[in-house]
Amino acid sequence: MLKIRKILRNINALFFSVYVRISSKYFLIKELLMEFEELKQKYEMVIGLEVHAQLKTKTKIFALDGAEFGHEPNSQTSPITLGMPGVLPVLNKAVVDMAILTGLALNCEIPSRCKFDRKQYFYPDLPKGYQISQYDEPICGKGSIKISNKTIGITRAHLEEDAGKLVHAGSAGIYGSSYSLVDLNRAGTPLLEIVSEPDMRTSDEAREYMEELRNILRYIGVCDGNLEEGSMRCDANISIRPKGQKEFGTRAEIKNVNSFKALQRAIEYEFERQIELVEDGKEVVQETRLWDDAKGITSSMRGKEDAHDYRYFPEPDLMPLEISREWVDRVKATMPELPAQKLKRYVDLGLSEYDAQVLVNQLEMALFFDKAVAQNVNPKTASNFIMGEIAAYLKEEKVSIEESKLSVENFVKLLKLLEKGTISNNIAKSLVIDILKTGEDADKLVEKKGLSVLSNPDEILPLVQKVVADNPEQVAAYKGGRDKLFGFFVGQVMKETKGRANPQLLNELLKKELEK
């Protein structure tokens, strides 16, 4: 027995020793983190974003080969795309229309003239050895985007052709080699590069700016905004400066950011990296860095080029483009409702600002909601169903509302049944899931399942009397002052009617019965 007690004392002592060591290290780590957070307060982040939006044209910017995503490698090419000798580019008018429309949506100046330039650089997926872009005379001048707490300036938006894509493959073999394949399907795809002013100061602002820009591009139909497929790509320019200093610090550009979450993580990492360099007495180098989402770090890719490194000169095969006010007005006339306008309209319809913003951020859901409300259903009820049961089902099944079997007409039928009191709210919530799966008509589904609301007192009263008779102890407690038990009786009757009892009528009958 004494031996066992000694062993237990030794075990307790060991655990205490380990606890003390872990605790001391925990508090040391916590103290260091607090010191670093205080250090971060000395500096201000300066963020500017360059967003490449792939325009949704059927063909490429200077050639007739297709611009759709997902085809077999190198099947969407032509002599113009491949840069064969003697070929000449021809500007796609649809590209210009989309660029003007985007500029107007971003409050940009649309100049009466723009031109194209050759941007010289050499890379395996750039077949011509240069890129046709715009330098000093872009199609869109200064503009702005409003986010929740400030306005972010737009420096410019210019047109250019995309490069191809390198597919890195292979594995280490006898000679330790791997290889890369070139897919030129993407080469020549029209891009609109939207460059912001360095007006953002937090990663939250950068994310909100990107989300609002994506919404605008999707609403006006010029880009699908798919970051994963690369049809919308973002490069972030990050620098730091002591708070209160006007001069900008040296910036680093972060590439390979393909989600909103990754954008925030990359910005925060780069902010801390640059602070560490400066505090250690080192200099931040102007360079391009790659974001590794798995490791959560940026790494140096190459020194950052300046404009003179690209040796820009006017594209000799394309004349400067004259843009008349009549052309701009024709494009402006096609402008749909923008996200900010839709948000205000939803709030005016009675939705909370939060609910309205959630709907606005999901274009397909917003369009579905608009079609339903146009058929005189209650906006708040429609919004609750779309953001609740419908959104949950779509997320679980990983389908869009367009891919589901729920039509606007059938959804409206269901809401009308609810508004008339034919079915209860709980039954409607259950039925909308059935309709999403099967597409069955709401009226027929209610009739087939016998789910219409019971509104006849002669049908409900016997069930009320049965529940009261079966629960004498709860009746006595209720009459003794436990008013909350009323909900218990309601639940029991609803259970008997499978949720079909008219709630208002049920409450009236139940109160009368309990007062006897």
At 382-421, the pLDDT tens digits run 999 999 999 999 999 999 999 999 999 999 999 999 888 7
Per the CB < 8 A criterion, the answer to whether 233 and 189 are in contact is no
**CA separation (Å) from 301 to 160, 254, 289, 290, 425?**
23, 9, 5, 6, 57
pLDDT given at position 157: 98
Report d(CA 179, CA 191) in Å as an integer: 28
Per the CB < 8 A criterion, the answer to whether 94 and 283 are in contact is no
315 or 28, higher pLDDT: 315
Quote the longest CA-to-CA distance of the chain.
Answer: 101
Does the structure show a pLDDT above 80 at 73?
Answer: yes
At 165, give phi and psi (nearest 5°): -140, 135
Burial class (CB in 10 A: 0-12, 13-18, 19+), 442: buried
Q: Would you mind telling me the total number of residues written for the chain in this entry?
A: 516
What integer is the mean pLDDT of 266-287?
91
Per the CB < 8 A criterion, the answer to whether 490 and 507 are in contact is yes
At 463, give phi and psi (nearest 5°): -70, -40
Letter for the amino acid at 496?
E
Which tokens belong to 32?
A: 């260091």
Q: What is the DSSP letter of 200?
A: B
What integer is the mean pLDDT of 62-74?
90
What integer is the mean pLDDT of 442-461?
73
236 or 123, higher pLDDT: 236
Per the CB < 8 A criterion, the answer to whether 252 and 286 are in contact is yes
Report d(CA 264, CA 61) in Å as an integer: 32
pLDDT given at position 76: 92
At 207-241, the pLDDT tens digits run 999 999 999 999 999 999 988 888 899 999 999 99
**CA separation (Å) from 273 to 29, 40, 303?**
19, 11, 17
Percent of the chain residues topping a pLDDT of 70: 88
Residue entry with tokens 């905004």: 225
pLDDT given at position 332: 97
Residue 1's pLDDT band, with cuts at 50, 70 and 90, is very low
Query: Is beta strand 287-292 parallel, antiparallel or unpaired with respect to 252-257?
Result: parallel
Letter for the amino acid at 262?
A
Burial class (CB in 10 A: 0-12, 13-18, 19+), 480: exposed
At 322-358, the pLDDT tens digits run 999 999 999 999 999 999 999 999 999 999 999 999 9
In the predicted model, what is the mean pLDDT of the chain?
Answer: 87
Q: What is the pTM of this model?
A: 0.81
What integer is the mean pLDDT of 349-371?
95
Residues 6+ apart with CB under 8 A from 306: none
DSSP symbols for 335-356:
----HHHHHHHHHHTT--HHHH
What integer is the mean pLDDT of 70-81?
91
Is the dihedral angle over the CA atoms 32, 35, 37, 42 positive or is it negative? negative
Residue entry with tokens 């880009």: 223
Q: What is the DSSP letter of 410?
A: H
Nearest to 346 by CA among 326, 332, 360: 360
Letter for the amino acid at 314?
P
pLDDT given at position 32: 59
Which tokens belong to 91?
A: 């500007």
